[in-house]
Amino acid sequence: METVLSYIPLDIGLIAQNFDRFLYGVWITLNLTVLSLIIGGMMAVPLAVARAARHPVFNPLVWTYTYVFRGTPLLVQTYLIYYGLGQFDLVRESWLWDPILSSAWWCALIAFTLNTAAYTTELLCGAIVDTPKGEVEAAIATGHSYRARMRRIILPSAFRRAIPAYSNEVIFMLHGSVVASTITLQDILGVGRWLNGRYYLAYEGFITAALLYFLIVFTITRVFRWIERRYLRHLTGRESADVAEMTPEPVR
């Protein structure tokens, strides 16, 4: 066994000795990512409805919010919250400072949540606007009010059709969570940087972190593929029928 390990250009034994730290980093990464996606998704639903309805008051406010957070890097947003808010005496003296805004974990969660909520808002807004007119007209014909149409017809349909695009947002949010390592949090990348710095290594920490991210992304893609097969089966059949209708008959 030692002979085999001697040919591997990585210190596998050192990685194994510190693998518990990587597992802790996985927990921090998944904790921040999942919580931000849940809270951001809950925020995005009413914001997307306001955007799709073209509300004269809320639509410009929501558009400004999404434009700012989609137009600036997540790293800058995290730095502004973690380092920037502490520059104001009003913030440091408020009741939010000691339990929340002085904590790197909470600042990262706030930044990640606001960022993913902005992207998810635009994603859901597009899905709501693209709801087939036949479904909306059928709901109107059966006497559904606007709220009933939105709750029973439009939103469920938009959620299903947004699944493929939202899977990309989940993966992007996971990749973006590496920003947490820049504000002292020991996520997966943070542990990899710690390992390389402590033992003066070049590759071991980063390659281990990359493999862990790869495994998590692989799991996410498999889960969303199962969800798509379960909830988008009717759309697959419809697309196949549309392709069949568009295909010209062979010339004999």
Q: How many angstroms separate the Cα of 54 from the Cα of each of 62, 138, 231, 235?
A: 10, 22, 29, 28
For residues 168 and 214, the answer to whether their CB atoms sit within 8 Å is no
How many other CB atoms are found less than 10 A from the CB of residue 38?
A: 12
How many other CB atoms are found less than 10 A from the CB of residue 4?
A: 8
Q: How many angstroms separate the Cα of 185 from the Cα of each of 27, 36, 177, 249?
A: 12, 16, 10, 61
Under CATH, which number does the domain 25-132+159-238 receive? 1.10.3720.10
Residue-wise pLDDT tens digits, 170-227: 999 999 999 999 999 999 999 999 999 888 888 889 999 999 999 999 999 999 999 9
What phi and psi, each to the nearest 5 degrees, are found at residue 245? -70, -35
Q: CA triplet 205, 211, 215: central angle to 5 degrees?
A: 145
pLDDT at residue 33 is higher than 60:
yes
pLDDT at residue 101 is higher than 60:
yes
The mean pLDDT value of the chain amounts to: 87
> Which of 225 and 96 is assigned the larger pLDDT?
225
Residue-wise pLDDT tens digits, 112-144: 999 999 999 999 999 999 988 888 888 888 888
Query: Tell me, what's the pLDDT at 8?
Result: 60
Range with lowest mean pLDDT among 78-87, 94-103, 181-190, 231-240: 231-240
How many other CB atoms are found less than 10 A from the CB of residue 207?
A: 16
Query: Tell me, what's the pLDDT at 106?
Result: 95
Alpha-helix residue ranges (DSSP H) falling in the chain: 2-6, 12-17, 19-52, 58-71, 74-79, 89-92, 104-129, 133-141, 146-149, 155-161, 163-176, 188-199, 204-231, 233-246
pLDDT at residue 111 is higher than 80:
yes
Q: Give me the residue spans of the domains in the chain.
A: 25-132+159-238
- What is the crossing angle of helices 188-199 and 19-52, to 10°? 150
pLDDT at residue 250 is higher than 70:
no
Range with lowest mean pLDDT among 2-11, 13-22, 46-55, 76-85: 2-11
